[in-house]
Structure 1
């Protein structure tokens, strides 16, 4: 029963994200917005309910099954992929580099933001 409650909660957040995106016209995927809302809720609570932990663990244990539809799509459209391998490769490489650069910049900004208050607190303690 815990698993069912957890899956239901995850799907409700996904649904709320979808509905919000459709009503507000936000240019992000509904499941992503739902995941952000779930993250904020869990952050405010300070912990995940047991049902969500159980459902997410079960989903992660079978994560490889979620890649089967993508693999089938790759095989079904193999001719098109073979014809357009140069733009696909370029897009993959460019998006990977952009993701790495943005991640590094966010990490640097976050580190500076978190380290300054700690350093300032330590300096005040020594005075």
Structure 2
């Protein structure tokens, strides 16, 4: 019974943060989509501990678990735009390929950077305990 009451409250909190992102994008005339600003705002609130993970954990877990369903309307809409892929297919494929490779490179570099930092911290802590 408690989950039935907590879930809508958490969902409303996430929607308020999202709507704040849209509001800030409109107010400041930013070229960034409002939902991205909302995610940055959510990240900031979580990092500063203004918002605790427990306060949104149930709703966000549900949304992430069912994320694939949110892509169904987009996929169906894309099926009606075959002419778009015929006309711009090669530039789209090239753009997606280059961005994929750049994403892999940045992700690999980030993991290597942070994994070396973790190994150094573990190595230092081992030496101090001896």
State the TM-score bracket (shorter-chain normalisation).
Answer: 0.7 to 0.9
Structure of higher RCO (CA pairs closer than 8 Å, 6+ residues apart): 1
Q: 1:19 aligns with which of 15, 20, 23?
A: 23
C-alpha distance in 1 between matches for 2:76 and 2:114: 44
1:28/1:99 CA distance change after superposition, 3 Å: farther
Q: CA deviation at 1:28?
A: 0.7
Matched, 1:58 2:25: no
- Give the unaligned 5+ runs of structure 1: none
| TM-score using structure 1 length | 0.72
C-alpha distance in 1 between matches for 2:109 and 2:12: 37
C-alpha distance in 2 between matches for 1:37 and 1:103: 26
1:26-63 deviation per Cα after TM superposition (whole angstroms, max 9, x unaligned)? 1110000000110111112184024x111111112222
Matched, 1:90 2:91: yes
Runs of 4+ in 1 over 6 A off after TM superposition: none
Matched, 1:48 2:49: no
RMSD: 2.9
- Give the unaligned 5+ runs of structure 2: none
Count of residues paired in the alignment: 120
